[in-house]
Amino acid sequence: MVRDFFATVTPGLLAEPRPTAWAPEHEQPVRHCLHVILDEEWEHLRFALRDLDAQVD
């Protein structure tokens, strides 16, 4: 689903404003929302690879 989205996303869509999850009266562009999601996923991966792997030893 993510690959399909990135394969078809346009600069115009990335610039469209969307309500934020914590304060719906404030808007951020779709690009910002994607950055938040990707940053969170990256940090979860780093934790899994670094900290969880260290606990197994």
CB 13 within 8 A of CB 30: yes
CB 16 within 8 A of CB 29: yes
**Model confidence over 28-57: pLDDT tens digits?**
999 999 999 899 999 999 888 887 766 655
Domain total in the chain: 1
> Between 51 and 2, where is the model more confident?
2
Question: Could you tell me the residue range of the domain that residue 41 belongs to?
Answer: 2-56
CA distance 15 to 4: 18
Total Cβ atoms within 10 A of residue 32: 14
